[in-house]
Amino acid sequence: MTPVMDSPDLAPPAIRVRGLSHFFGSVQTLKSVTLDIWPHEIFGIIGPAGSGKSTFLRALNRLNDLIRGSRVEGRLEVEGRDIYAPEVNVVELRRKLGMVFATPVPLPRSIFENIVFGARLAGVRKTEDLSGIVRDCLEKTSLWEEVKDRLASSALKLSGGQQQRLCLARILALRPDVILLDEPTSGLDPISTMKIEETLRQLKRDYTIILVTNNTKQAGRVADRTAFLLGGELVEVGPTDQMFTSPADRRTDDYLRGRFG
């Protein structure tokens, strides 16, 4: 496995993973994964089905905890704090590490209410504050100009690509530090995919982004660094352009060339 890389600017990692193993009962899904993820990068994770990509992503905000028999070994730190420590507030953790899934799931409410749902729960009440949150989040996801005249319309009337960007905007309204994306464009057309990829490039100025994708070309287009998982093992991690042109491990090269997966 390629060694963990130092950050170019020597900043502490946003996420530090050391010897992370995960189990569902007796089945091991991650095998002693060690890596760092740096602030304001798009970190891609690739690998064939069953390689542990989504399990790793869900370990970061402890969604695996919801599955009976799930357990972890090793250490996983976010901003220097062990997120599996007993005192961790899991609800707050999931706000800080917001997750967007492969299939968009807008609430059966208006576009406006989708965005402010979390803000209302957090106690924001003033109309001008809520309106500001809506505009800011929709602008960040390049959706404002497309929907600004129909904020009261049902979010279910949006196209699939628009719904996915709406779900991303809804996460941004919670003011996360890290955005987790699990195959966010898998069911979208090329134009919608392009819009989301461009949105991610803009968002990394303010957020750390972790992107799980089965599309190696997508990782090549948007990820600053990429990790390759295979059978729960971290085979290689490094700058995306380097990995895609001269991978250090033969298995990485075989996967990128389509010889398996």
pLDDT at 11: 79
pLDDT at 118: 84
Cα distance between residue 60 and residue 130, in whole Å = 29
Is 0.85 topped by the overall pTM? Answer: yes
Please give the DSSP secondary-structure letter assigned to residue 110.
B
pLDDT at 3: 45
Helices (H), the chain: 53-60, 90-96, 111-121, 127-140, 144-147, 160-172, 190-203, 216-222, 240-245, 250-256
The residue assigned the tokens 């900043």 is: 11
The residue assigned the tokens 């464009």 is: 185
Return the domain boundaries, the chain: 15-104+177-256
pLDDT at 215: 94
pLDDT at 2: 45
pLDDT at 134: 97
> 256 — phi, psi (to 5°)?
-65, -30
pLDDT at 250: 96
Classify domain 15-104+177-256 by CATH number.
3.40.50.300
pLDDT at 8: 53
Closest of 29, 18, 54 to residue 211, by C-alpha: 54
Residue numbers in the chain where pLDDT is lower than 70: 1-10
